[in-house]
Amino acid sequence: MTIYISGFRQYVFVVRASENGKGHRVNTVRIAILGASGYSGEELLRLLLRHPQATIRCITSRQNAGQPVGKVFPRFAEARLTFSAPDAAEIAKQADVAFLALPHGTAAEYALPLLRAGVRIIDISADFRLKDAGIYKKYYRAEHPAPELLKTAVYGLPERYREQIRDAQLVACPGCYPTSILLPTCPLLAARLVQTSGIAVASLSGVSGAGRKVELPYIFPECSESVRAYSVTGHRHLPEIEQELAAAAGLTEVAITFIPHLVPVNRGIHTTVILEPLPGCTAAAVGEALQKAYAGEPFIRLLGQGGLADTKHVTFTNMCEIGYVVDEHAGRILLSSAIDNLTKGAAGQAVQCMNIMCGYAESAGLL
Amino acid sequence: MTIYISGFRQYVFVVRASENGKGHRVNTVRIAILGASGYSGEELLRLLLRHPQATIRCITSRQNAGQPVGKVFPRFAEARLTFSAPDAAEIAKQADVAFLALPHGTAAEYALPLLRAGVRIIDISADFRLKDAGIYKKYYRAEHPAPELLKTAVYGLPERYREQIRDAQLVACPGCYPTSILLPTCPLLAARLVQTSGIAVASLSGVSGAGRKVELPYIFPECSESVRAYSVTGHRHLPEIEQELAAAAGLTEVAITFIPHLVPVNRGIHTTVILEPLPGCTAAAVGEALQKAYAGEPFIRLLGQGGLADTKHVTFTNMCEIGYVVDEHAGRILLSSAIDNLTKGAAGQAVQCMNIMCGYAESAGLL
Amino acid sequence: MTIYISGFRQYVFVVRASENGKGHRVNTVRIAILGASGYSGEELLRLLLRHPQATIRCITSRQNAGQPVGKVFPRFAEARLTFSAPDAAEIAKQADVAFLALPHGTAAEYALPLLRAGVRIIDISADFRLKDAGIYKKYYRAEHPAPELLKTAVYGLPERYREQIRDAQLVACPGCYPTSILLPTCPLLAARLVQTSGIAVASLSGVSGAGRKVELPYIFPECSESVRAYSVTGHRHLPEIEQELAAAAGLTEVAITFIPHLVPVNRGIHTTVILEPLPGCTAAAVGEALQKAYAGEPFIRLLGQGGLADTKHVTFTNMCEIGYVVDEHAGRILLSSAIDNLTKGAAGQAVQCMNIMCGYAESAGLL
Amino acid sequence: MTIYISGFRQYVFVVRASENGKGHRVNTVRIAILGASGYSGEELLRLLLRHPQATIRCITSRQNAGQPVGKVFPRFAEARLTFSAPDAAEIAKQADVAFLALPHGTAAEYALPLLRAGVRIIDISADFRLKDAGIYKKYYRAEHPAPELLKTAVYGLPERYREQIRDAQLVACPGCYPTSILLPTCPLLAARLVQTSGIAVASLSGVSGAGRKVELPYIFPECSESVRAYSVTGHRHLPEIEQELAAAAGLTEVAITFIPHLVPVNRGIHTTVILEPLPGCTAAAVGEALQKAYAGEPFIRLLGQGGLADTKHVTFTNMCEIGYVVDEHAGRILLSSAIDNLTKGAAGQAVQCMNIMCGYAESAGLL
């Protein structure tokens, strides 16, 4: 028996027939999406509706409970799914894996009963990304609702934690900014090519990165023809970035400068990381470190020396473009990356984690 | 036995095993794309690279001959295809079906030798849409390069010419505007619900509809914060629209008012058709005519009475949204439609035609 | 001698003085803007802060009372104005002319006491545009708050009602859509060149036309890459358009088809009017009718036969572009217009009315 | 006597006259704009057509010679100016001041004969910004066409070189990026509050910053939904920025990291400068240095500690917003600025220089 699943030609894979020759469907996973009416939820729907091995069993939205999915997202009108109010017991019956696309704080509340009921969790919120509940409290201005889970949660960045994700019960998907920063930077820190002090990052995000928020700064006339930096100190993604940069460098702490900007595109994050080289940090060494880290990765596109990323090349894909420049004039190393904030920066990465957790091809449903 | 899974859950389909029970891959088609470096070409690549039964064997671009596809479209860098200069003899060796995404005039030049060599043609240019070489000359200001082919060409609108497409050697895919206008209007004309005189159409197109043209009116600062009508008489899509409206109405001629606009979006066409009702043209009758025409169509989404289309709901899909309004105040029937100009308005529809021609599921690679 | 050069009030400088010491400033008008924190209010501020003869004495905003104008509109930070809660008695002390940039319903409530106190009113809301309180009730779903004023209100379209505006106590400025439709169409109706039945209008509006509304359909990710028609029957601007078209045609009633669209630009309205010609309606006759109506008008730009308007040419100006096309193919007359919805479509037209009411140059502060 | 001037030249009016009848117009300057068909030229037209003391006598464009200005820029159709081919002798007869909005290289060719003929030059190109012809050659890859003029040219940044501009014959207006970077940074360098090494700058520019260039990367579909950095080493504005930063710091050389980005807005530059503090660099000290440098400046808006600039607040104005943040977490000083690249970044600054050179109010025509 040959089962053939769509995608780029080069990632086609074949699942062999079972012993008894009785062709049966590949094994599938039953999915719940909590908080499915936001933009991350919409992107999860886009990806999972066409995923060959996932069956969406349940989508929740307190506000839209009872509504067919097409009322909120007309592009999915044919999908015949209906929003329900979130109910952990009911979800536990329906689903093997639950995606939490809920606000922080709320996500943790649902994680606990679902985990107890044996549902594996892929959390897109910020609730389980930080290892330190004290830092959570400082940046999110609230006690962590389930600090006991912080230790068991695995940071859902497959290119760095693939093995841990495989068996995780609780995966905490990185934020969109962190993904765009960690993927280019960690290999250089791990290879001791750059200093851990003086790291500066300029990131530019599309407006969907703010979520489906109905607030004055996000209405069209306020965003179009506007370019602005914001939260240049204390952005909530900052501690998560620093935690993972420190881990890559083998340190307990790193402090960086992080300048997020809002720019009038719908989707995409563009990041430039400015680093100070350590002795031996040549273009060749940087290229090698990235090659070594990412050769064979299905969702990393290395642009090489002089390569500069463009969100245009990655929107609606799970790809992360990474280029680098050795700037001898100013004595700096520049890293350039681009992702789609809703795909590799949220839902796509979550599905990538799901594929790993379920033993599917890592790119299933993502090409 | 072969199991093939793709797309929205509800469209999963199973191709049955051959008589001898020896599971083998579904048969595939070898594809050439001529003029693959424009936006229609890019969209063909996006769709065909993930199509389960198509293998792209050849992409041509005079300007980019020798370049890997990733140089022109970085998002396809992983595809490992290289542009070549178009060469009919070579293409005939490589491909079963050739998509012509060439300028009008040029397309016809390649069609003739390819057809002779047995390659089936799906033309996205305007060269074979009109039945009358005289009208071609009037609107395109040139003699038709291969008038003898006009009779055999089939108009590639599957919802109206599915049967003829099946066995066609030469399919002339409709333009983006015509698709958005004909799909809502033809059923009402065919059902004799509206008059054939006094038809007025306002269509709004994204800038990619102009092609990948490097001309002053299309640079960003000229398009952003600009809204403009253009070619309100004599637009090149006009005769094709009128030809097909007349055909639907059982007439030889119809003359309409067609107001195309350029608006600052990348993709999408939004159309409103204003019609004069004939006696008996109730909301129920309009709804019925549309239902009858499109029930079961995979790429038509009927929005019902009062439903208004939005390009936001259809971009990056092959779907056409259709709504209607019976305006009793002014005594008019309004039809509202939206498509993605590059998908249902060009490349997606071309792939839909290919699926029909090859006997594949009509939505293969399109969901 | 006094030399007075336009600009922000605070940079006005006075060069003293003629020999006889009689140097005196040109006479000025004291202004109140009610509802100054919306986009029409912002545009009024932009225009009136640099108006040579206007002094803004009072800006109101219930929500922002006590805030300096720069908190809400940083671009006016230097203006040193402070929002106050609206108080008719206080406004009457401070201002000669009050602009009402309030929601409909609310505007009428303030108009009455202000008029009684001798303040002249220029209303940008919809409250005094309709002559018939019954039609107001039908479209705005509320009893008119001050029906006795409907008779005295003058429709603030200077190109048609300049003389009545001069001495008006209450001017009701047209909506943005009506301005863009009436200016091209009325002269043809008045000249009996076109039929009054079968009029169809397609208008495309920027998002600021919806006001500074914090609602889901207006956030950036919902508007960008979206094109949509809305309210194709029963739009609130419809009765006002029909009232004035009927007046131009010398009729009591006209019923039209009006298709408003939302397109992703910030500012601007683009309109195409489709008309049926009466005998004698040649291109020359249309051109003459427009010339006769608008020769010498400072804010009408006639584009002539074949001329198509573009919002790009009029944004941030008080200009209305008007072109026309005699479409012999379909037997229609097409009119094309473009305005800035916030300037000629709201605040600019209001200032133009003020200039007329105060005996200033009509273009003072508007060039 | 009261003289009141406002608006487009054709509406300028003079209110006669003092008792003694000696009413005379304020003295005016005759202007030529060379290269008036680009975006800087368009902005010069916008500003100078309404400038109370400037009379545009001559606009040149090789490509559009003989065309009325309204053919190229319909928004100025009422201005009744006609493009001519550039002719230094003719210009010298017509104009007191010439603005050069020409490509680099070409500008220098015209500067020499015009200067000799006594015409004062305000150059918006890059030809006279650098003091060192060797550096010009390195970055512009051509010999400087008139190196002898480099010494006499004054860098046209009024906030730093106001006195030298007053009597200059040749003013070299800064580029758009340099303006946005130098204005916030120089005062801190001059006050020795920050280190001169390790300076990093992230700037985001609207597409009009690339000029009216008809090239593939600037067409709408390539720019919309795209965010990209470019020329992160060796950008042509870099040496000019470094030259002026060094001057402010009292050094001969400074090397910085400069990351320019292209973002899909039409107008505006947003800049963040990342600096390393020297001892004593408190928030108070930074605020004081900026206050001292810019108190009373008409075109600097200080946002104070924590203030972040937004291009939305400055487009279509000559204002530069400047805010700062002392980031104790990472030990950095962050400066934030925004300008309109075509106004304060080009044409507006040029007019500001003209006002200074002619002894007019510095903000004449700019408010």
Residue among C3, C11, C52 minimizing CB distance to D363? C11
Model pLDDT, residue A27: 85
Q: Is the pLDDT of residue C6 over 90?
A: no
What predicted TM-score, i.e. pTM, was given to this entire model? 0.93
| pLDDT at residue B11 in the model | 25
C46-93: per-residue pLDDT in tens?
Answer: 999 999 999 999 999 999 999 999 999 999 999 999 999 999 999 999
Contact residues, chain C, for A216 at CB < 8 Å: 212, 214
Instruction: Report pLDDT digits (tens) over A301-332.
Output: 999 999 999 999 999 999 999 999 999 999 99
pLDDT tops 50 at residue D210? yes
Read off the pLDDT of each residue in A62-88 and give the average, rounded to a whole number. 97
Provide the terminal-to-terminal Cα distance of chain B, rounded to the nearest Å: 23
Find chains touching chain B: ≥3 CB pairs under 8 Å: A, C, D
DSSP notation for B93-130:
HH-SEEEE-SPTTHHHHHHHHHHHTT-EEEE-SSTTT-
Phi and psi based region of residue A93 (left: phi greater than 0; alpha: psi -120 to 50; beta: remaining): alpha
pLDDT at D26: 54
What is the model's pLDDT at position B209? 96
Distance between CA atoms of D151 and D142, rounded to whole angstroms?
Answer: 18
pLDDT number for residue C26:
53
Q: What is the pLDDT of residues C338-361, one digit of tens each?
A: 999 999 999 999 999 999 999 999
pLDDT band of A26, cuts 50, 70, 90: low
At residue C4, does pLDDT exceed 80?
A: no
Q: Among A1-10, B159-168, C185-194, where is mean pLDDT lowest?
A: A1-10
Q: What is the CA radius of gyration of chain D?
A: 21
Q: What is the pLDDT of residue D197?
A: 96
Give the residue carrying structure tokens 């509706």.
A49
Cross-strand partners of A228 = A262, D310
Beta carbons within 8 Å of D88's beta carbon, 6+ residues apart: D110, D113, D114, D117
Say what the pLDDT of residue B26 is: 55
Cα separation, A174 vs A127, whole angstroms: 10
Q: Which residues contact A35 (CB under 8 A, 6 or more apart)?
A: A41, A60, A61, A86, A100, A101, A102, A103, A106, A107
Q: Which of C4, C313, C363 sits opposite D74 (nearest CB)?
A: C313
Planar angle of CA C282, C285, C288, nearest 5 degrees: 150
Mutation target to probe the A interface, by most A beta carbons within 10 A, among B13, B75, B303 is: B75
- The answer to whether the Cβ–Cβ distance between B220 and D216 falls below 8 Å is no
A34-58 pLDDT, tens digit each:
999 999 999 999 999 999 999 999 9
Q: Which CATH superfamily hosts domain B28-175+346-358?
A: NAD(P)-binding Rossmann-like Domain (3.40.50.720)
**CATH number of the structural domain D9-152:** 3.40.50.720
Please answer yes or no on whether A259 and D272 come within 8 Å at the CB atom.
Answer: yes
Domains of chain B by residue range: 28-175+346-358, 177-341
Q: Is the pLDDT of residue C206 over 50?
A: yes
**Chain C residue with minimum CA distance to B339:** C227
Asked if pLDDT for residue A279 goes beyond 80, the answer is yes
Q: Is B66 helix (H, G, I), strand (E, B) or coil?
A: coil
Nearest residue in chain D measured CA to CA from C20: D19
Token look-up 């943005």 returns C176
Q: What is the DSSP string of C198-222?
A: S-EEEEEE-GGGG-S---GGGBHHH
Please tell me which chains touch C, using 3 or more CB pairs under 8 Å as the contact test: A, B, D
Q: Which residues of C252-272 are buried (b: 16+ CB within 10 A; e: fewer)?
A: eebbbbbbbbbbbbbbbbbbb
pLDDT score of C213 more than 50: yes
> Contact A168/A115 with Cβ under 8 angstroms?
no
Ramachandran category for residue D35: left, alpha or beta (phi over 0 → left; psi -120 to 50 → alpha): left
Q: What is the mean pLDDT of residues C315-333?
A: 98
Q: Is the pLDDT of residue B99 over 90?
A: yes
CATH fold, domain A177-342, is Dihydrodipicolinate Reductase; domain 2 (3.30.360)
Kindly state the helix (H) or strand (E) to which residue B302 belongs, with its residue range: strand B300-305
Min Cα–Cα distance to chain A from D204, Å: 8
Q: How far apart, in whole angstroms, are the C-alpha atoms of residue C261 and residue C282?
A: 30
Whether residues C13 and D361 touch (CB distance < 8 A) is answered with yes
Q: Which chain D residue's Cα is nearest to B216?
A: D214
The percentage of chain C sitting over the pLDDT mark of 90, rounded to a whole number, equals: 92
Find the mean pLDDT for residues B210-236: 97
Select from D77, D71, D25 the least CA-distant residue to D49: D77
Active site residue D176: yes
Instruction: Tell me the shortest Cα–Cα distance from A161 to chain D, in angstroms.
Output: 27
CB contact under 8 A, C321 and D19: no
CA angle D32, D37, D41 (to 5 degrees): 55
- Among residues C245, C264, C267, the alpha carbon closest in space to that of C256 is found at C245
Among C201, C171, C172, C173, smallest CA distance to C186 is for: C201
pLDDT at C202 over 60: yes
Mean pLDDT of D256-265: 98
Interface of C with D (CB under 8 A): 1-8, 11, 13, 18-20, 22-26, 50, 52, 74-75, 77-78, 225, 298, 301, 310, 312-314, 316-317, 319, 321, 361, 363-367
Categorize the per-residue pLDDT at C27 as very low, low, confident or very high, splitting at 50, 70 and 90. confident
Q: What's the pLDDT at D27? A: 85
Q: What was the pLDDT predicted at A18?
A: 27
Residues of A in contact with D265 (CB under 8 A): 224-227, 263-264
CA distance D204 to A323: 19
Q: Is the pLDDT of residue D34 over 90?
A: yes
Neighboring chain B residues of D213 at a CB cutoff of 8 Å:
219
Mean pLDDT rounded to a whole number for chain A: 93
Span A199-219, pLDDT tens digits? 999 999 999 999 999 999 999
Match domain A29-174+346-358 to its CATH number in 3.40.30.10, 3.40.50.150, 3.40.50.720, 3.40.50.620: 3.40.50.720
Burial label for D110, CB within 10 Å (0-12, 13-18, 19+), is buried
Look at D224 and B39 and tell me if their CB atoms are within 8 Å: no
Q: How confident is the model at residue C63, as a pLDDT?
A: 95
Residues of A whose CB is below 8 A from D138? none
CATH architecture designation of domain B177-341: 2-Layer Sandwich (3.30)
Catalytic residue among B58, B176, B281, B320: B176
Average pLDDT over residues B23-39: 84
Closest in C202, C330, C338 to B202, CB measured: C202
pLDDT band (50, 70, 90) for residue A62: very high
> Residues D234-262: what's their mean pLDDT?
97
pLDDT, tens only, B239-266: 999 999 999 999 999 999 999 999 999 9
Q: Looking at the domain that runs over C28-152, which CATH code has it been given?
A: 3.40.50.720
- Mean pLDDT along residues B136-161: 96
| Whole-number Cα distances in Å, A224 to A200, C75, C264 | 27, 16, 9
